[in-house]
Amino acid sequence: MEILFNDLTNLFTLTNLLCILLGTVVGMVFGALPGLGTVIAVALLLPVTFTLPPLAGILMLLATYQAGEYGGSISAILLGVPGTPQAAATVLDGYPMAQNDSPGKALSYSLVSSSIGGIFGGLVLIFVSVPLAKFALNFGSPEYFLLGVIGLMAVGLLSGTDKIKSSIAVVLGLIAGTVGIDSLTGVSRATFNQPELMDGVNLVAFLVGMFAISELFMMISKGLNNKYVADRSTLKTGLTWKEVKGIAKSTTIGSLIGAGTGILPGIGGGASCWFAYAVVSKTSKNPEAFGKGSPEGIAAPESSNNASAGGALVPFLALGIPGSAAIAIIMGAFIMHGIQPGPNVFTAERDLVYGIFYGFILTTIAMYLIGRLLTPMFSRVLVVPNSFLISIVLVLCLIGIYASKGAFFDLWLALGIGILFYILKRLNYPVSSVIIAYVLAPIIEENFRRSLTLSNGNYEVFFSSVYAIALVLMIVAALAASVYADFKKRRHQPS
């Protein structure tokens, strides 16, 4: 119960509040712009966190993440084009409601359900993380290695349709994570005689190259002067109490599904919003309204994707396992400040963790308030053509990379990574797996080697405890389920 009586004075500082405000605005704008999205926004803001205290920096990224989830629905509702993959299900009812009824009403349903989902996700984070972290204190190196493998398998097996390509993406991320001086022995590895690589591949250059620069090339190929036209005349957001009551059930179901799937690494908001939409449409008293502008059809996916953001923080904070690309970038901010997420962070960085718990709820409140006030303004950015966006974001990417370390090497590296990952994206390699593997690489390798060193190279150490055996069984079960799903899919495919 100590969690409920924590001193929150550290949270309500001017720096923290300004960072939440900035993160919310950036997240909403980037979330609203089709093609950019939450991950790029978080990656671009990562260098800014260098100069900030850890809590302020992390809250800024969390606010960006939360607001981006709502921002994605702005373009989904006004244009029928989801700003983020997580807003894809919102198009089904949000766009028809905007066309037939009122865009402002559709945005209001989205904002209210996103906010409720966000608060729910925050509560799940608060009440599930602490027991999970306490339980994880029983784990030793073999269990942490196995947990890392589960995290990788979840993203590798679930994020792509081609299992081999997904596995290659995971291995590429792990390889990138091993470059530089080995933390256990001080030996330099795979640096190709580049002193800039001694500290490893620069996280900001890696992220911005992989997500932002490659995405800008994608945007160029999608069209440079596409002009979106949106009706901005009736964008005032607000719901009556009766309307809120009307979406109570769908919002509750969406929040439960979102938080639950968010906790499982690799699933995230993209899948949970479709799952929530399917469940709510089947259990609704008014199923025929779905697809034609049903408020429940907006509330379910929107509450789900914001709740999944809170859920995704649970395994990240309690076990050190990031479940999505955005969380992996936020993990980067922890690492840059010398903080390793996991059960020990609850005692070593108690104020930070509790600040994050309550700060996450604060980011949701900020999202609601700023959404209420500024949604009509954010909708205006939708008419900015790609020709302007690409040029300006490109320059911001380069500034962000240079500001992180002041090295030109990193700029060239990011350009190379951007070109490589543009091609890999076109070939359907799931790039989000790369970044998750990259941030998990040190945890996996260190615990793997520590386990084997302690057991004199005996692999039986990975079956030495009940927890380890349970984790091995989970890995085997996940592999078997994946192989079975592939087998079933092939059987149903026409030859």
Partner 1 sequence: MTWKGLNSIMSIILIIGGIGYAVNLNQSASQALIFSSSGVGPAYFPNILAGLLVILSVMTLVKNFRDNSPNNIEKITTHNAGYILITIALMVAFLASWQFLGYFYLNVFVLLTILMTLYRIEFGFKNSLLVGITTSVFTTGFLYGLFGQILALTF
Q: Which of 412, 472, 474, 482 binds partner 1 (CB under 8 A)?
A: 412
Q: Is 314 in the site for partner 1 (CB under 8 A)?
A: no
Q: Is 452 in the site for partner 1 (CB under 8 A)?
A: yes
Q: Is 427 in the site for partner 1 (CB under 8 A)?
A: yes
What is the rounded distance in angstroms from the CA atom of residue 5 to the CA atom of residue 354?
10
Q: Is 267 strand, coil or helix?
A: coil
Dihedral sign for Cα 28, 267, 56, 353, please.
positive
CB of 120 to partner 1, least distance (A): 36
User: Torsion angle, CA of 183/444/144/306, rounded to 10 degrees?
Assistant: 110
State the binding string over 270-309 for partner 1 (x if CB under 8 A, else -). ----------------------------------------
Q: Is 36 in the site for partner 1 (CB under 8 A)?
A: no
Q: Is 395 in the site for partner 1 (CB under 8 A)?
A: yes
Q: Is 130 in the site for partner 1 (CB under 8 A)?
A: no
Contacts of 327 (CB under 8 A, 6+ apart): 65, 312, 313, 316
CB 298 within 8 A of CB 109: yes
DSSP H or E run through 439: helix 431-454
Strand-pair partners of 361: none
Is the CB of 130 or the CB of 397 nearer to partner 1? Answer: 397
Q: Is 367 in the site for partner 1 (CB under 8 A)?
A: no
DSSP H or E run through 368: helix 350-380
Q: Interacting stretch for partner 1, rule CB under 8 A, among 97-105, 186-194, 281-289, 350-358?
A: 186-194
Site for partner 1 (CB under 8 A): how many residues?
58
Q: Where are the alpha helices (DSSP H) in 183-247?
A: 203-207, 214-222, 241-246
Q: Interacting stretch for partner 1, rule CB under 8 A, among 129-137, 233-241, 314-322, 414-422?
A: 414-422
Q: Is 386 in the site for partner 1 (CB under 8 A)?
A: yes
- How distant is the alpha carbon of residue 137 from its chain centre? 25
Dihedral sign for Cα 120, 126, 127, 132, please.
positive
Is residue 450 exposed (0-12), middle (13-18) or buried (19+ Cβ within 10 Å)? Answer: middle
In 3D, which of 105, 74, 70 has the Cα closest to residue 367? Answer: 70
Q: Is 168 in the site for partner 1 (CB under 8 A)?
A: yes
Is the CB of 368 or the CB of 448 nearer to partner 1? Answer: 448
CB of 347 to partner 1, least distance (A): 29
CB of 385 to partner 1, least distance (A): 8
What is the rounded distance in angstroms from the CA atom of residue 319 to the CA atom of residue 311?
13
Block residue for tokens 């070109």: 419
Is the CB of 373 or the CB of 395 nearer to partner 1? Answer: 395
Is the CB of 102 or the CB of 191 nearer to partner 1? Answer: 191
Q: Is 387 in the site for partner 1 (CB under 8 A)?
A: yes
What is the rounded distance in angstroms from the CA atom of residue 452 to the CA atom of residue 461?
7
Q: Is 180 strand, coil or helix?
A: strand
Q: Is 388 in the site for partner 1 (CB under 8 A)?
A: yes
CB 310 within 8 A of CB 259: yes
State the binding string over 45-84 for partner 1 (x if CB under 8 A, else -). ------x---------------------------------
Is the CB of 10 or the CB of 178 nearer to partner 1? Answer: 178
- Residues in the site for partner 1, rule: CB under 8 A? 51, 164-165, 167-168, 171-172, 174-175, 178, 182, 184-185, 187-192, 216-217, 220-225, 385-388, 390-392, 394-395, 398-399, 402-403, 408, 411-412, 415, 419, 422-424, 426-427, 445, 448-449, 452-453, 455-457
